[in-house]
Amino acid sequence: MAYLYVPNGVNVEKWKSRETLAPLEKMREHFSVIEGLEVEKATSGGDGGGDHARSNAAFLTGVRPKKTAGADISLGQSVDQYAAERLGGVTRFRSLELATDGVRKSGACDSGYSCAYQYNLSWRSETLPMTPESNPRFLFERLFGKGTGKERVEGRARRLASERSILDFVNDDAKALQKELGRGDQMKLDEYLTSVREIERRIEQAEKWTLPDTDHLNVPAGIPPNYEEHLRLMFDMMLLAFETDSTRIATFGLAHEGSNRNFNEIGVPEGHHSLSHHDRQKSKLEKIAKIDLFYTQQLAYFLEKASQKKDLDGKSILDNSMILYGSGIADGNRHAHNDLPIIMAGGGGGSLTPGKDIKLQSDTPITNLYLRMLHEMGVPSERFGDSTGVLKLT
């Protein structure tokens, strides 16, 4: 299960006419365009500006973020973490969080909203965003370690032993401190200790698994200067994680919401966010369409590779996956959060029938789709976020 996010909305006319999807033509039988989905919690709700922060924050949570630029952030658990909490024990990593931009978890970014909302798709809890990795080399080393196979095994053993000794010290220190704290500080300490216990659980999990043989793979050198190459390396790392069954749950922010990245490599020197406020100007809309095509080309790259890689049961990784691609904004000029540009790819292990487009009743909560995905992952749930029911994809 993977969730792929693109910022700033799309050229709606080109999306609806399917011109934007031209790079995906070879994969047409493997995906569906779903129309009518909404992220209602990205709307203002009386909080004024901040649509980019709310779009990113609400996309996977179905929760409206608390408007604050301080440390008192509050959102909700994202769907990937909801699934990871219930399924994470079957793989070495509960989930992976990927990005291409740097990490920001504090400070003000959009109209009084914390940068944490705008730069983090995945949330472990309402106050704890999951820090994404943007360096493909660091991601590879996190998955498989450094050096040769033998060196990775030995290095992991040393690292786990070191982490255990540090945690023992932290736990002893925290217990002594707890007696001296007031109630408010004790609550903060409890939250901190919960994170410590989660690290302990991850160490115990890591000790159970044998590292896969990756000596034949090319280790990424780091972050490449070319954006397209960066995206594709991150897709390669995600696919490698799925292929080795290191995890079954991932999120990838192809760029942070509100990104003003330029696209000189495709003849678009202006910033993406600036262009998204196009005021119906033809030249700006054409450039937005170019950016949209660039992103669907990257999606096509990922889906084609996923269709060529075999899973343990002999089916392709794509056939056994559910991959959602989209944005929390439809038209960036209006900051519209309804009738979103959403693609659902993969066969879900035989439970889904991709290849046909699906038109839903207008303003259907996207969390209804997440409920369906959770059910197909073996996580039956009655409600998630602002869902109103399990979506039927027929």
CA 106 to chain centroid, in Å, comes to 19
Which DSSP helix (H) or strand (E) runs through 56? helix 51-59
* pLDDT tens, residue by residue, 246-268: 999 999 999 999 999 999 999 99
Query: Of the candidates 120, 43, 112, 24, which has an alpha carbon nearest to the alpha carbon of residue 72?
Result: 112
168 has pLDDT over 70: no
Torsion angle defined by CA atoms of residues 21, 23, 29 and 35, in that order, rounded to the nearest 10 degrees: -10
pLDDT of residue 96: 98
* pLDDT tens, residue by residue, 48-65: 999 999 999 999 999 999
pLDDT > 70 fraction of the chain, expressed in percent and rounded: 82
Structure-token pair, residue 162: 């070191």
If you average pLDDT over every residue of the chain, what do you get? 89
* pLDDT tens, residue by residue, 188-206: 666 666 666 666 565 555 5
pLDDT of residue 79: 99
Nearest-angstrom CA–CA distance, 257 and 54: 9
pLDDT of residue 276: 98
Contact 130, 120 (CB under 8 A): yes
Contact 134, 158 (CB under 8 A): no
Calculate ∠ Cα 153-154-159, nearest 5°. Answer: 100
CA 181 to chain centroid, in Å, comes to 37
Which of 108-117, 168-177, 238-247, 284-293 ranks highest by mean pLDDT?
A: 284-293
pLDDT of residue 146: 72
Nearest-angstrom CA–CA distance, 93 and 88: 7
Contact residues for 38 (Cβ-Cβ < 8 A; gap 6+): 337, 338, 339, 340, 362, 363, 364, 365, 366
pLDDT of residue 63: 99
279 has pLDDT over 80: yes
The DSSP line for 229-282 is HHHHHHHHHHHHHHHTTS-S-EEEESS-TT---EEGGGTEEEEHHHHHS-TT-H
* pLDDT tens, residue by residue, 290-343: 999 999 999 999 999 999 999 988 999 999 999 999 999 999 999 999 999 999
Across the range 67-82, mean pLDDT stands at 97
* pLDDT tens, residue by residue, 353-380: 999 999 999 899 999 999 999 999 999 8
pLDDT of residue 90: 86
Band of residue 84 on the pLDDT scale cut at 50, 70, 90: very high
Nearest-angstrom CA–CA distance, 118 and 56: 6
Select the more confidently predicted residue: 226 or 392.
226
Contact 103, 131 (CB under 8 A): yes
Select the more confidently predicted residue: 187 or 350.
350
